[in-house]
Amino acid sequence: MIGRVRPLRIVALLVLGMSLALPAAPAKAADGELTLEGIVNNTILGHAEDGYYLNLKPFAQVELPRIMLVRTADGALTLEAYGSTKGLLQNGPYGLAAHGDEGEGHAGPITASAELAEAIEAKEHLHSTAVRTSGEVVADLSISRHLIFGLLAMLIVLGVFIALAQRYKKEHDRPEAPKGVFQNMMEVLVVFVRDEIAKPNIPDGKWRTFLPYLLTAFFFILVANILGLVPFAGAATSNIAVTGVMAIMTFSIVLLYGSSDYYKELLTGPPDAPVLIRIILVPIEIIGLVMRHLALAIRLFANMMGGSLIIFSLIGLVFMMNVIMGEAAAWSTTVISIGFTVFILLLKLLVAFIQAYVFTILSALFIGMAVEEHHPDGEEAAEPDVGLDGRVEDRLDAVEDKMEDRVQPTTA
């Protein structure tokens, strides 16, 4: 039986690697020729970064709506909406920006109808920037690929936890061990975030206040990261805007819930330090506070974007070999490329969990540092009774105790 299962797993992984290669087919130039510039800009960078389309090749390629807040030539603010980037270029005062530096690619923005039609036919408009030819774009409010998958991750987390909450709500009067593999798995993750992340890093029982945020951040990042491994999908966490907003949320909690002791030490320096040392340390501490949360955003973004770039670079290697050395070299590179792609996919699955854990535990650590209060004579504050959260805590502890009783060995 084991001998049968292992080949099936290998075949499944190879199919997964090949399925990622399908949507990554490189766009060709207008004359049908495959170029290195097209491979780098379209296959590698175009699929790894955000875009205004959903790549479902070989089935379809769906362009997303474009919404622009613009200032016209006469100074009026206008909101313009188009069904796609193609519609924006054909029906609005927009042109297509050039790829590369001056002297590379097109000499300037493409505005002529014939050249635009040629670029659209070559799918170049999907990986280039649309620029307005009259007036200016104040804000680009278009729906992007990462926005779609970010909302999908949010809906998945919301749906899962609403279903689990309803199940626990029916059994709140009689705590029992969770039933089913899925409920057991989710409870293990929830208890892990509570016992290994929130409790050790947020003191004085205040972890109860921030546990909902930590759980939300952990599961949203985890689901968003896993969506990045699904063919035709993408990871919203590989967008700096998404990770930046999450870091700002942690930063806002630190500022809003920071204790008086925290602000006193932040703005006046250590109480035992000389005045001159405080003058030096205060700006360093303030800069460090900002940089910690900036690093929180960049760390998650860089890890997820780096994994995507590696995968699409390995896939693009096949097409590069085809351009440089011919079709025979491309076919010989295919097996190696897909093998390394599957390995990186497995590594990214591990990284998906690690990055969710790292972001959550660092958020808990920063929040704990901010809310901690200095108690005189080394006394510690008792954990307060907080009503509903306390009852939830009691139910979780009761479930754990009951499970431990069930697995106690019996004497002969």
1-10, 235-244, 347-356: range with lowest mean pLDDT: 1-10
Domain boundary among 112, 142, 172: 142
Report helix angle 145-170 to 181-192, nearest 10: 100
By DSSP bridging, strand 94-96 and strand 136-140 are unpaired
Same domain, 198 and 128: no
Same domain, 225 and 309: yes
Using the structure block, give the residue that is written with the tokens 């090749």.
57
Asked if residue 111 is part of any domain, the answer here is yes
Same domain, 131 and 199: no
Same domain, 254 and 339: yes
pLDDT value for 283: 92
pLDDT value for 250: 96
Across 226-238, average pLDDT: 87
pLDDT value for 75: 84
Across 234-253, average pLDDT: 93
Reading the block at residue 244, the tokens are 């930046």
The full DSSP string for 151-195 is: HHHHHHHHHHHHHHHHHHHHTTTS-----SHHHHHHHHHHHHIII
**pTM for the full predicted model:** 0.78
- 70 or 29, greater pLDDT: 70
Asked if residue 212 is part of any domain, the answer here is yes
Which pLDDT band, with edges at 50, 70 and 90, does 17 fall under?
very low
Sign of CA dihedral 5, 8, 14, 18: negative
78-87, 131-140, 217-226, 316-325: range with lowest mean pLDDT: 316-325
Domain boundary among 142, 161, 195: 142
Q: Is the peptide bond before 93 cis (omega within 30 degrees of 0)?
A: no
Reading the block at residue 350, the tokens are 């591990």
Asked if residue 260 is part of any domain, the answer here is yes
Domain boundary among 142, 163, 194: 142
R_g of the chain computed on alpha carbons: 27
Across 300-319, average pLDDT: 82
Asked if residue 11 is part of any domain, the answer here is no
Reading the block at residue 51, the tokens are 């875009």
The yes-or-no verdict on residue 243 having pLDDT over 90 is yes
pLDDT value for 93: 87
Same domain, 130 and 165: no
Same domain, 391 and 354: yes
Q: Are 128 and 119 in contact (CB under 8 A)?
A: yes
Same domain, 130 and 159: no
To 10 degrees, the CA torsion angle through 109, 112, 115, 121?
100
Q: Are 21 and 15 in contact (CB under 8 A)?
A: no
Range from 185-189, 355-359, 394-398 that averages highest in pLDDT: 355-359
Q: Are 37 and 99 in contact (CB under 8 A)?
A: yes
Asked if residue 393 is part of any domain, the answer here is yes
Same domain, 88 and 204: no
Asked if residue 377 is part of any domain, the answer here is yes
Sign of CA dihedral 73, 74, 79, 83: negative
Range from 91-105, 237-251, 258-272, 308-322 that averages highest in pLDDT: 237-251
Per residue, what are the HEC states of 60-79?
Answer: EEEECCEEEEEECCCCCEEE
Domain housing 76? 65-142
Long-range contacts from 159-165, C-beta under 8 angstroms, 24+ separation: 160/186, 160/219, 161/219
Using the structure block, give the residue that is written with the tokens 């952990």.
218
Report helix angle 207-227 to 388-406, nearest 10: 70
CA pair distance 385, 169, nearest whole angstrom: 21
pLDDT value for 312: 75
Per residue, what are the HEC states of 199-213?
Answer: HHHCCCCCHHHHHHH
Q: What is the pLDDT of residues 154-176, one digit of tens each?
A: 999 999 999 888 877 766 555 56
Cα–Cα nearest to 405, from 239, 220, 152, 176: 176
Asked if residue 237 is part of any domain, the answer here is yes
Which pLDDT band, with edges at 50, 70 and 90, does 245 fall under?
very high
pLDDT value for 195: 93
Q: What is the pLDDT of residues 42-78, one digit of tens each?
A: 555 556 678 888 888 777 788 899 999 999 888 889 9
Q: How many structural domains compose the chain?
A: 2
Neighbours of 160 (CB within 10 A): 14
Bridge partners, 56 (sequence order): 60
Same domain, 282 and 174: yes
Same domain, 126 and 178: no
Same domain, 104 and 181: no
Q: What angle do CA 275, 279, 284 make, to 5 degrees?
A: 135
Q: How far is CA 363 from the centre of its chain?
A: 16
pLDDT value for 39: 52
Q: Are 120 and 110 in contact (CB under 8 A)?
A: no
- 178 or 408, greater pLDDT: 178
- In the DSSP assignment, the letter for residue 52 is S
- 259 or 123, greater pLDDT: 259
Same domain, 102 and 154: no
Asked if residue 258 is part of any domain, the answer here is yes
CA pair distance 318, 312, nearest whole angstrom: 10
Half-sphere exposure of 298 (CA within 13 A, CB side): 6
Which pLDDT band, with edges at 50, 70 and 90, does 232 fall under?
confident
